[in-house]
Structure formats: structure tokens, C-alpha cells
Chain A
Amino acid sequence: DSGVTQTPKHLITATGQRVTLRCSPRSGDLSVYWYQQSLDQGLQFLIQYYNGEERAKGNILERFSAQQFPDLHSELNLSSLELGDSALYFCASSAAQGGYTFGSGTRLTVV
């Protein structure tokens, strides 16, 4: 157990639907990051939150949104899903400039 909890582990949904992925960071970490990893691509940075505020955005689609709540857990919302959104979605947390602690990921399959 890395200390970062992601739910659900697996998600199968149809095109056009909306899903919510949840992440609880490691205790004490204020930063949460979301990454997407497709089969043919490496880890792609989506978005970062720090203590409830959005800090940085990567190549996140307009159909995707995220937020971090006062208890520091974060949710990534994916809407109008397309086949190409099928991927592993990872959440990570960190303190300051340290290494990231990743969760075990959510495997999203869009059919």
C-alpha cells in the first residue's frame, strides 16, 4: 500500500457517458497530480492541485475536469467519453519537491 488510494480500480462504461475517479493522497501531502497512461503513450500530465487550489494544467481535454476538496481528496471527472479515453489514470501526491507517491490507478475501458 503506497498510501495513495484510488477508486475504483476498474471501470467499464459506454461512449458518451460520464465517470468520476477518486483519489485520497498520502497523509500530509498537499499536492495531488493526475496522469493518463495509454498503451502506446507514456504518462501524460493532466492537472495538479495544491491544498484545494488548481496549480497547473497539462493537456487536459475540456471534457475532463478535476477538483480537490477541503479534506484533500481529489476527483477527476471525465464526460462525453470516447473510445480513445480508455487508459490507466493515475493519481499521485507529493510534499514540496519530493518524489511522487502514486496510487495503483484506475483502468478505464470505454466500449
Chain B
Amino acid sequence: SQKIEQNSEALNIQEGKTATLTCNYTNYSPAYLQWYRQDPGRGPVFLLLIRENEKEKRKERLKVTFDTTLKQSLFHITASQPADSATYLCALPLSGGYNKLIFGAGTRLAVHP
């Protein structure tokens, strides 16, 4: 069955450094991949979508890569700030169409001043 793996351990980094989060998937060839941010008790917020024919996508301090051979996406936050502290989720469309997404468990990022 389709499976998404994200680092369950929290990532702690210093302010100003680059945070890199990993999303791996198996038994699957998705047409696109999405990243979301979720703060405690709040709904996830959509950040970026990257398609299978795109190697890299950027939005302000965010960068996402998508390696369909490795079945992996990397999510980077450059010049990280304490306000970037949150849980970051990766999501893939389930087979069968209709934009139905399966979410990874998320990686908690803590940026320390």
C-alpha cells in the first residue's frame, strides 16, 4: 500500500540556519506532492505544490525538491526564524484521482533564538 514517511523526531536548529525536512514515499508514483505547515490546534496551511516534472520549486525562503527516482522530497527553510517553528506535513495524492491526499505524520521543527 502507499506509504509516506517523515522524520518523527523533532528537528531543533538555531535561528538563521537552514532547516531541511525529508519526506519519503513507497509503492507509489505521484503526479505531484504538497507541503503544509500546521501549528498546534490549528488546521494545516498549504505552502507549496511540486509536480513530478519539476525538480525544484521556490517560494520566498522555502525550497522544495522532488526526486522521483529516490521517491523523496526535501523541504528547506533558509534563514530560519523562531516563527517558523511548527509541524510540517508532506502530502501525496492517493491513486484514483480527485485530488484525495494522504498526509505524512509530520516533522516538528523548533527554531531557537
Number of interface residues of A (CB under 8 A): 29
Do A45 and B41 touch across chains, with their CB atoms under 8 A apart?
A: no
B62 close to A (CB within 8 Å): no
Neighbour of B101 across the interface among A45, A88, A105, CB < 8 A:
A45
Interface residues on B, range: 20 to 34
B32 close to A (CB within 8 Å): yes
Q: Which residues of B contact A102 (CB under 8 A)?
A: 43-45
Across the interface, name the chain B residue whose C-beta is closest to A102: B43
Secondary structure dominating the interface of A: strand
CA distance A58 to B103 in the complex (A): 13
Neighbour of A55 across the interface among B43, B44, B100, B101, CB < 8 A:
B100
Residues in B lying within 8 Å of A, measured CB to CB? 31-32, 34, 36, 41-47, 49, 89, 93-94, 96, 98-106
Closest 5 CB pairs of A and B: A99-B46, A102-B43, A42-B105, A43-B103, A56-B100
